[in-house]
């Protein structure tokens, strides 16, 4: 087992590049997962682990998947590459998997959450956590402005990126899929809308949300079967997208019970 004692080691440099650059993740077909819990979800979802960097002083004895390379790193090196020190001393390089509509789970009465042009990894990660809790069929990111394998997204989702089926596509592709599969499209918007609790979500439903700054494009507004809103009783006219998504997801859960 090779021991890495220096942060200048070429393997550590490559690991840092994967953490920092989406172009490097695409080029090498790898992304980074930090933490035992996140890694367990990743393995359970069928991802192939390429390399593991383990700090024995923090990790103790752990069960590692067969076939992957393992390097022991010192506390100093782990402190250099780890985002937080409470991740049980494990960082892995993982093979990227392709996801598409063909890989989505088959469901008679699906509930989708669709995010158009989401740009903040932390927001998407928070939406995924709520989607996991609400048992959402899938999260679909249309015209994405962030990388699904961004380390900030994986961290903020605490592994939900692996437990919730998640794909990216164009808005045009997504609208076509929803229409052809008889899914009711509900767009969250302030204009020309009804309170969300007055809208039927018991049937196959897609809840569509845009960015906090610009909202949804006209393409989605025109494709919608209904427009819904969360009543705002204060002085501001918007909520964080992850908060809004959680409210709407759990309304669908409430109606379906």
Q: What is the β-pairing status of strands 90-95 and 49-54?
A: antiparallel
Residues 225 and 111 in one domain: yes
Residues 119 and 216 in one domain: yes
What phi and psi values does residue 112 have, to the nearest 5 degrees? -105, 145
Q: Structurally, how many domains does the chain consist of?
A: 2
The residue among 95, 113, 146 that closes a domain is 95
Contact between 133 and 160 (Cβ < 8 Å): no
CATH of the domain at 55: 3.30.1330.30
DSSP string spanning 152-219?
HHHHHTTTHHHHS-EEEE-HHHHHHHHHHTTPEEEEE-STT-EEGGGS--SSSEEEEE-BTTTB--HH
CA distance 128 to 90: 23
CATH of the domain at 207: 3.40.1280.10
Indicate the pTM of the whole model: 0.92
Q: Which two tokens stand for residue 120?
A: 């903040």
The residue among 68, 95, 122 that closes a domain is 95
Residues of the chain with pLDDT under 50: none
Residue pLDDT, tens place only, 90-108: 999 999 998 899 999 999 9
Residues 70 and 184 in one domain: no
- The domain of 191 spans 101-256
Residues 138 and 226 in one domain: yes
The residue among 61, 95, 129 that closes a domain is 95
- Where are the strands (E) in 8-143, listed by range? 30-34, 49-54, 69-73, 90-95, 111-116, 138-142
Residue pLDDT, tens place only, 214-249: 789 999 999 999 999 999 899 887 789 999 999 999
Cα separation values, 21 from 92, 98, 200, Å: 16, 19, 42
Identify the CA nearest to 141 among candidates 201, 190, 206, 193. 206
């Amino acid at each position: 087992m090779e021991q890495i004692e220096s942060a200048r080691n070429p393997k550590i440099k490559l690991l840092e590049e994967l953490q920092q650059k989406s172009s490097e993740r695409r080029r090498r077909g790898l992304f980074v997962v930090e933490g035992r819990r996140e890694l367990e979800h990743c393995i359970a979802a069928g991802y192939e682990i390429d390399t593991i960097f383990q700090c024995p002083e923090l990790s103790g004895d752990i069960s590692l998947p067969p076939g992957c390379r393992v390097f022991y790193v010192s506390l100093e090196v782990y402190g250099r590459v780890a985002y937080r020190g409470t991740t049980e001393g494990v960082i892995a390089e993982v093979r990227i998997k392709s996801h598409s509509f063909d890989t989505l789970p088959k469901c008679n009465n699906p509930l989708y959450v669709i995010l158009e042009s989401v740009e903040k990894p932390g927001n998407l990660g928070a939406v995924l956590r709520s989607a996991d809790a609400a048992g959402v069929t899938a999260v679909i990111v249309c015209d994405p402005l962030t990388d699904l394998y961004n380390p900030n997204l994986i961290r903020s989702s605490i592994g939900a990126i692996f437990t919730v089926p998640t794909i990216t596509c164009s808005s045009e592709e997504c609208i076509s899929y929803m229409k052809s599969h008889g899914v009711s499209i509900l767009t969250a918007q302030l204009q020309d809308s009804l309170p969300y609790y007055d809208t039927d979500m018991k049937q196959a439903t897609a809840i569509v949300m845009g960015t906090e700054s610009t909202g949804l494009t006209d393409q989605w507004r025109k494709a919608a079967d209904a427009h819904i809103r969360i009543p705002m009783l204060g002085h501001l006219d918007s909520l964080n997208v992850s908060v809004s998504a959680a409210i709407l997801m759990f309304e669908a859960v409430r109606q379906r019970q």
